[in-house]
Amino acid sequence: MKGLNKFIQANKQCPFLYNHFKIDVSRNQIASDFLKKFVNLCPHLKNANKMNEREASGQTVSACASTNTTTHVAAAASFFSKCPINHSKLLGKKEKCTGCPHNACLHSNEAPLLNEITEKTLQESSQKCPFVGLLNIDNSTETAASKLLKNQEEYEQSVKKNFIMKNKSIQLDNQETSEKELNEYDQQFANAIKGLKTEGRYRVFNHIKKIAGRFPKALYTDSATNETKEITVWCSNDYLGMGQHPTVRQAMIDAVKETGVGAGGTRNIGGSSIYHTQLESELADLHFKEKAIVMSSGFVANQGAINALTKVLKDVIYLSDEKNHASIIEGIRNSKADKVVWKHNDMEDLENKLKQLPLERNKIIIFESVYSMSGTISPIGEVCKLAKKYNALTFIDEVHAIGLYGKRGGGVAEMMGLMDQIDIFSGTLGKAYGCVGGYIAGNSLLIDCIRSFAQNFIFTTSIPPCIAQAAKTSIAYVKEHNELRERLHFIARLIKKRCNDKNIPILPNESHIIPVFIGDAKKAKMASDLLMQKYDIYVQPINYPTVPKGQELLRISPTPNHNEDMVEKLVLALEGVFEELQLRENFGQELSHNFTEPLSLAEKLIITA
């Protein structure tokens, strides 16, 4: 009965109310012994033993039970809160029924507790109990119920099947009805969602439960079967597993004990603490800059900085790489500043764009060091030379490089020895450092302007002090442990080599990011689903608008916590998925690439920088 109880609880339903929620349980499947076994499993009844508590339980069930009409909810509440009038009359009672043990517990403080009800009591009252009586149960059902309990697996599957099929039918019926009754606004919402689903771009979230101390392992519960299994996560942006590191976890716990959970306000009204200033000092040191400022996310940091810079720098124009992150694209758009888009990592195109602008005009070249989807690395040195030549500021987003490149984890700019040539750094606390938050680093005057003019910073509650303390601890730890970076890039190189051996198409790059090319949105989703269902591997599909249409992919993110056995299982699973879905028909041999030399070069730079 354990499996069935789990199924019942997962769907927030009481076993006594099956028929009120369109689950087809035939009458010969319920009898007194069946009720006896379930009476202490019902989460809404088992803890209540007084009249007012029973009635409250009934209301709770009514509110949370899965149903489709208010009529069914009302029926459920009615059966929980009182005995039917005709049942009371049969017993000679006008207001309450003490003959039925279920209703006795609902209506009398002196009635026996549910866990004290004996099988004999239930058998004697089975004809009086409304839950049984309304189903016209007779004594002959006891044998059927006993047989049922002996074959519980078959019964569980029957209930699950009926539940799923009936709900699908109800959902379809409701969908058809809803589409007819939608107002003009809801119709537009419905059309937008329908379009995403038709194109295979509708996002479905996989809900996982990480296992503390066992990263990258996690638990995943299939929403269709309600079965839970252990999986290996290959798409986390906790690149170094620091979100699970005992030192970081303990730092956060200690801070919570000292100062509580929330910040209690914005940075300028009660929400600034010593934890925030210490974190900002740690970040400034990481980039060899004078100051840093922390915001609620990397996305917010980019938007806030762009918003502030546009207010301060008169007639500023942004020169933006065409593959920049959405936070940069939207930040520039929202600022209403002028912009020029240059071809990805194309220095000739960037210089041509710069030549067309007056030398004295305020200009900011904004780009990323490691591009999140393609994994390509920008030619930072060449960008800096052009910026100096044409009187422009450099704004680099190192979100996917912080902690992972350079001797102290300062990013690709540190790896290349170019930190002093970058004017503005943006980064995150939510990837290599395993926490949450974003930041900007630069000279004192620049940071003071962002602090004063960035609305995203001024008008939002600051990150919790405990998060700030955990992030500071993580940054300090990663600075001193270069072996984490070495291990990460070793695993990345190994995956790329094994994929190349198996002719699995990955887009060439010199970073830790591994984009497995699919080229079709629906097939990318199918590949992701198959990896999860058949191989217990979680890799998220990446579709438009994150990548251009026709360039859909599976994005693999290795970590130092993955081992060689996990790598082999991943590669063999990818090979199986490509064969089963016939995905190799989507690409040509030009995508095959030997990654050994570029990765060795990148790894050498990382270790020796």
User: DSSP readout, 449-509?
Assistant: HHHHH-HHHHTSBPPPHHHHHHHHHHHHHHHH-HHHHHHHHHHHHHHHHHHHHTT--B---
- Whole-number Cα distances in Å, 114 to 47, 122, 427: 9, 11, 58
Compute φ and ψ for 317, nearest 5 degrees: -125, 140
What pLDDT was estimated at residue 61? 40
Q: Say if CB 303 and CB 324 are below 8 A apart.
A: no
In Å, the largest CA–CA distance within the chain is: 99
Region 442-447 average pLDDT: 98
| pTM, rounded to two decimals | 0.69
pLDDT over 70 for what percent of the chain? Answer: 66
What pLDDT was estimated at residue 56? 39
Could you read off the pLDDT of 342-366 as tens digits, one per residue? 999 999 999 999 999 999 999 999 9
For the chain, list the domains and their CATH numbers. Answer: 2-159 (no CATH), 208-240+483-608 (3.90.1150.10), 245-478 (3.40.640.10)
Alpha carbon distance 466, 450 (integer Å)? 24
3-state secondary structure (DSSP) of residue 339 = strand
pLDDT over 90 for what percent of the chain? Answer: 60
What pLDDT was estimated at residue 572? 97
Could you read off the pLDDT of 566-595 as tens digits, one per residue? 999 999 999 999 999 998 765 554 444 433
Lowest mean pLDDT among 44-58, 194-208, 522-536, 542-556: 44-58
Compute φ and ψ for 333, nearest 5 degrees: -60, -45
Lowest mean pLDDT among 50-54, 330-334, 461-465: 50-54
Element of type H or E holding 428: strand 424-428
- Whole-number Cα distances in Å, 607 to 42, 490, 601: 59, 11, 10
Q: Say if CB 339 and CB 366 are below 8 A apart.
A: no
Nearest Cα residue to 325 out of 389, 289, 373, 381 = 373
Coarse DSSP helix, strand, coil percentages of the chain, rounded to the nearest 5 percent: 50, 10, 35
Q: What pairing do the DSSP bridges indicate for beta strands 228-233 and 537-538? A: parallel
393-397 β-sheet, strand order:
291-295, 438-442, 424-428, 393-397, 363-368, 317-321, 338-342
- Whole-number Cα distances in Å, 303 to 229, 317, 453: 39, 15, 12
What pLDDT was estimated at residue 157? 54
- Whether 479 shows a pLDDT value over 70: the answer reads yes
Instruction: Indicate the pLDDT class of residue 238, thresholds 50, 70 and 90.
Output: very high
Which residues touch 520 (CB under 8 Å, ≥6 apart)?
A: 200, 550, 552, 586
Q: How many CB atoms lie within 10 A of CB 585?
A: 9
Nearest Cα residue to 439 out of 567, 286, 326 = 286
**Structure-token pair, residue 340:** 């020029």
What pLDDT was estimated at residue 167? 52
- Whether 401 shows a pLDDT value over 70: the answer reads yes
- Whether 44 shows a pLDDT value over 80: the answer reads no
What pLDDT was estimated at residue 10? 40
Element of type H or E holding 61: helix 51-64
What pLDDT was estimated at residue 101? 45
Instruction: Indicate the pLDDT class of residue 544, thresholds 50, 70 and 90.
Output: confident
Q: Which residues pair with 488 in a beta bridge?
A: none
Instruction: Indicate the pLDDT class of residue 294, thresholds 50, 70 and 90.
Output: very high
Instruction: Indicate the pLDDT class of residue 206, thresholds 50, 70 and 90.
Output: confident
3-state secondary structure (DSSP) of residue 424 = strand
DSSP string, 173-238: HHHHHHHHH--HHHHHHHHHHHHHHHHT----PPPEEE-TTSTTEEEEE-TTT--EEEEEES--S-
More confident residue, 380 or 30: 380
- Whole-number Cα distances in Å, 61 to 78, 103, 114, 466: 11, 16, 17, 37
- Whether 83 shows a pLDDT value over 90: the answer reads no
- Whether 92 shows a pLDDT value over 90: the answer reads no
Mean pLDDT of the chain: 78
Nearest Cα residue to 371 out of 476, 230, 263, 513 = 513
Instruction: Indicate the pLDDT class of residue 5, thresholds 50, 70 and 90.
Output: very low
What pLDDT was estimated at residue 202? 87
Q: How many CB atoms lie within 10 A of CB 387?
A: 22
Q: Which residues pair with 340 in a beta bridge?
A: 319
- Whether 546 shows a pLDDT value over 90: the answer reads no
Region 533-544 average pLDDT: 94
- Whether 135 shows a pLDDT value over 50: the answer reads no
> In one letter, which amino acid is 126?
S
Give the DSSP letter of residue 355.
H
Residues that are catalytic: 431
- Whether 441 shows a pLDDT value over 50: the answer reads yes
- Whether 289 shows a pLDDT value over 80: the answer reads yes
Q: Where are the alpha helices (DSSP H) in 261-363?
A: 274-286, 298-312, 326-335, 347-355
Give me the count of residues in the chain: 609
Nearest Cα residue to 397 out of 297, 311, 475 = 297
Q: Say if CB 126 and CB 138 are below 8 A apart.
A: no
